[in-house]
Amino acid sequence: MEEGSQNSEQLFEDDGNELEMEGNDIDIDSNGLDIEGNCLDIESNGLQDDCDGMLEIDDNHESNGDDATAVSIENGISQGKNYPPPVVGMEFESYDDAYNYYNCYAKELGFAIRVKSSWTKRNSKEKRGAVLCCNCEGFKTIKEANSRRKETRTGCLAMIRLRLVESNRWRVDEVKLEHNHLFDHERAQNCKSHKKMDAVAKRKVEPTVDVEVRTIKLYRTSTADPVGYGNLNSLEGEISETVDRSKRLQLNKGDSQIIYDFFSRIQLTSPNFVYLIDLNDEGCLRNVFWIDSRSRAAYGYFGDVVAVDTTCLSNKYEIPLVAFVGVNHHGQSILLGCGLLADDTFESYVWLFRAWLTCMSGRSPQTIITDHCRAMQSAISEVFPRAHHRLHLSHVMQSLFENLGELQESDVFQMILNRTVYETVKVDEFEMGWDDMIRRFGLADHAWLCTLYEERERWAPVYQKDTFFAGMCTFENGEFRSSFFDGFVHKQTSLKEFFGKYELLVQEERKTEAINDLESRDSSPLLKTRCFYELQLSKLYTNEIFRRFQDEVVMMPCFSITQVHANGPVITYMIKEHKAEGDRSNIKNFEVMHDKAGTEIRCICSCFNFNGYLCRHCLCVLHYNGVEEIPFQYILSRWRKDFKRLYIPELGSNNIDISNPVQWFDHLHRRAMQVVEEGMISQDHYTVAWQAFKESLNKVRLVADKHV
């Protein structure tokens, strides 16, 4: 153990597997995506969420002394010229390379470093990890405090944590950039770490791909070039022949500048806006992801079901857009992040999904709905192994007709297919219906259809009764509510047009949600029956969700109910539903199981999982058993109009370091934003919030006056 081992993080190894005993870091599959506190770091970027500063790194491989890589970070974060700040995901060929890099970075800024702790493999001298910190870290011991040496330690938290990974490279695992002291270049020059700096570390960062990309393995946020190819060294209209066009974002002239200008402008007005950029080995723009703080906060309420809309990418639109879409408490589509991808390969999807998951604090959705794409399916298995991956049923049905030639014109075929997919309520019914359809139309040797059938558990409703969809898929006619940009983005829409519409569309979506909130809170829906369930939920659900539930209540009298089985408190009922009044030939049977002891109820139609509210069959059984109110577990908070939703980042812990001004700002800013959100609910709320702000400001100024 090296210097500072008494405070070191311990690394244990059991049968070759390292177990790191650390605080509450979120580490996602060792893929270089890491969230620590309020600081967002990603494998290829040095971006920070929840701070007002914007990180800019000019990627210029032909820099000279006057035109070096520039780093500009506000809010107390270090600035450098030749050496970019460390970020999680950086990789080095050796420990010495990593140490020398951090030492050079520190010397350039004006502070010195030391090894706070390091650890080795059990029963071996092979180094496995280390923590390098600012030499102002910690405080003197009691023994040292009695010495005459000047106190230089300030409890500074700036540090990097290094770990040896499977590729036998050293990866930056944790980064803290903030210092709580001023830099002293003269003193730093004479510090022990800089005096020992070897000749390799002393040289400037070479402007080569090997040093910039291979050794450090840092994909950085670049100042995009006006030509549109993501490489600052490109000349007007000139592209290197060695660059593989398939491995970079296909942009028109000037598009990269449009992207950069848009991100810069948004981040100035919305400090919590985050964008992540992926560069290929040649330094060209490959993939892009962005998200704002409201979307991240909304995910906390509506992140159970997320659709990945790849319409633009799969249909070769002018812009290769991918959107993450959810549904809010009004059943309205909401945006949960966007990306631009170079291609629809496994690698691109993995980068995008990991970027998105990192911004969502590593919390995976319950259900992910996507188009039918092998690469995306593999990427989801890699990044979201616990999520239910389902396919857009409407897309599956559309592609099914497109691949069946003349049969798509057959009304008989369409009727049989729709009945098999949408109306069967049991697995054996679906499989028998599918087999009959295959034999009747001679499709046994249709390879594509056979492949689709093998994946039926991902798209056929009868197999998905245990999957929660929050009303995103109706499963009645294949309708799908995942498109956020429908009607706004077309095949020929340019990137400039898209970003011009983007803000307006997002603002319109949020305005619509605010209007719906007011209407749901201030109005009372018109009741259509005397059923108490209808009255109960009219007071709880938002207007749109209540209207959907109301359709179920209205149909309750259309049934006959029979008890068919009993096993203690669990009773099974058969509900006979008549599709049309007086039509005895069109009757469907639905089984409903009711547990009186546990107040649980479940219908074979699985309306609750599909839509988030109980079906008419369950309501009929509850009414039959004299249950006057719908059990609380079947009234989801995601649909309630009285549920408090504050679209601000999570407040986190109230335990702050009272000596750290950066934490003061972060804590006060979050609390102030909470008051702002509450103050926007109504005019009365606004008046109270504004008065509170004025009173608080006056009190703070009085404190300041006392110290004058």
Q: Does 55 score more than 90 pLDDT? A: no
Q: Does 5 score more than 80 pLDDT? A: no
- Of 216, 178, 177, the C-alpha closest to 43 is 216
**pLDDT on residue 90:** 83
SS3 state of residue 354: helix
Q: Does 12 score more than 70 pLDDT? A: no
Across the range 47-61, mean pLDDT stands at 32
Residue 529 burial (CB count, 10 A): 13
Contacts of 520 (CB under 8 A, 6+ apart): 330, 542, 543, 641
| Least confident among 383-397, 580-594, 692-706 | 580-594
Confidence of residue 640 (pLDDT cuts 50, 70, 90): very high
Q: What percent of the chain has pLDDT over 90?
A: 36
Q: In whole angstroms, give the CA distance from residue 10 to residue 15.
A: 17
Across the range 409-419, mean pLDDT stands at 89
Q: In whole angstroms, give the CA distance from residue 318 to residue 628.
A: 56
What digits encode the pLDDT tens for the residues 347-376?
999 999 999 998 888 889 999 999 989 999
| Least confident among 170-174, 228-232, 634-638 | 228-232
Compute the mean pLDDT over every residue in the chain, rounded to the nearest whole number. Answer: 76
What digits encode the pLDDT tens for the residues 97-106?
899 889 888 8
**pLDDT on residue 183:** 79
Choose between 413 and 557: higher pLDDT: 413
Please state at what angle helix 411-418 crosses helix 393-402, rounded to 10 degrees.
150
Q: Is the distance from CB of 417 to CB of 400 less than 8 angstroms?
A: yes
Contacts of 576 (CB under 8 A, 6+ apart): 559, 560, 561, 562, 587, 588, 589
Q: Alpha helix locations (H) across 325-446? A: 346-359, 374-383, 393-402, 411-418, 427-440
Amino acid at position 641, single letter: K
Q: What percent of the chain has pLDDT over 70?
A: 72
Per-residue burial over 225-253, b = 16 or more CB atoms within 10 Å of its CB, e = otherwise: bebbbbbbebeeeeeeeebeeebbbbbee
**pLDDT on residue 454:** 93
Q: In whole angstroms, give the CA distance from residue 280 to residue 597.
A: 60
How, if at all, do strands 34-36 and 26-27 pair? antiparallel
**pLDDT on residue 142:** 52
Please report how many Cα atoms fall inside a 13 Å half-sphere around the Cα of residue 247, on the Cβ side. 11
**pLDDT on residue 57:** 29
3-state SS track over 191-218: CHHHHCCCHHHHCCCCCCHHHHHHHCCC
What digits encode the pLDDT tens for the residues 396-408?
888 888 888 788 7
Confidence of residue 477 (pLDDT cuts 50, 70, 90): low
Confidence of residue 36 (pLDDT cuts 50, 70, 90): very low
Q: Is the distance from CB of 224 to CB of 259 less than 8 angstroms?
A: yes
What digits encode the pLDDT tens for the residues 248-260?
888 888 888 899 8
Q: Does 622 score more than 80 pLDDT? A: yes
**pLDDT on residue 68:** 31
Order of strands across the sheet that contains 34-36: 26-27, 34-36, 39-41
Token pair, residue 20, equals 């790191």
| Least confident among 372-376, 545-549, 682-686 | 682-686
| Least confident among 113-117, 460-464, 508-512, 652-656 | 652-656
Contacts of 344 (CB under 8 A, 6+ apart): 310, 313, 314, 373, 375, 376
What digits encode the pLDDT tens for the residues 487-542?
888 899 999 999 988 988 998 998 999 899 999 998 889 999 999 999 999 999 99
Across the range 329-353, mean pLDDT stands at 94
- Of 502, 654, 540, 657, the C-alpha closest to 155 is 657
Per-residue burial over 538-573, b = 16 or more CB atoms within 10 Å of its CB, e = otherwise: bebbbbbbbebbbebbebbeebeeeeeeeeeeebbb
What digits encode the pLDDT tens for the residues 192-208?
666 555 444 444 333 33
Residue corresponding to tokens 């020992």: 196
| Least confident among 325-334, 414-423, 543-552, 653-662 | 653-662
**pLDDT on residue 45:** 37
- Of 561, 549, 419, the C-alpha closest to 477 is 419
Q: In whole angstroms, give the CA distance from residue 291 to residue 275.
A: 6
**pLDDT on residue 234:** 35
| Least confident among 74-78, 196-200, 295-299, 422-426 | 74-78
C-alpha of 169 from chain center: 28
Per-residue burial over 395-420, b = 16 or more CB atoms within 10 Å of its CB, e = otherwise: bbbebbeeebeebeeeeebeebbeeb
| Least confident among 18-22, 184-188, 323-327, 479-483 | 18-22
Residue corresponding to tokens 């009929």: 620
Q: In whole angstroms, give the CA distance from residue 488 to residue 389.
A: 27
pTM over 0.85: no
Confidence of residue 593 (pLDDT cuts 50, 70, 90): very high
Q: In whole angstroms, give the CA distance from residue 523 to residue 538.
A: 10
**pLDDT on residue 512:** 92
Q: Does 53 score more than 70 pLDDT? A: no
The yes or no reply on domain 247-391+484-522 and CATH 3.40.50 is no
Confidence of residue 130 (pLDDT cuts 50, 70, 90): very high
**pLDDT on residue 584:** 59
Q: In whole angstroms, give the CA distance from residue 160 to residue 104.
A: 14
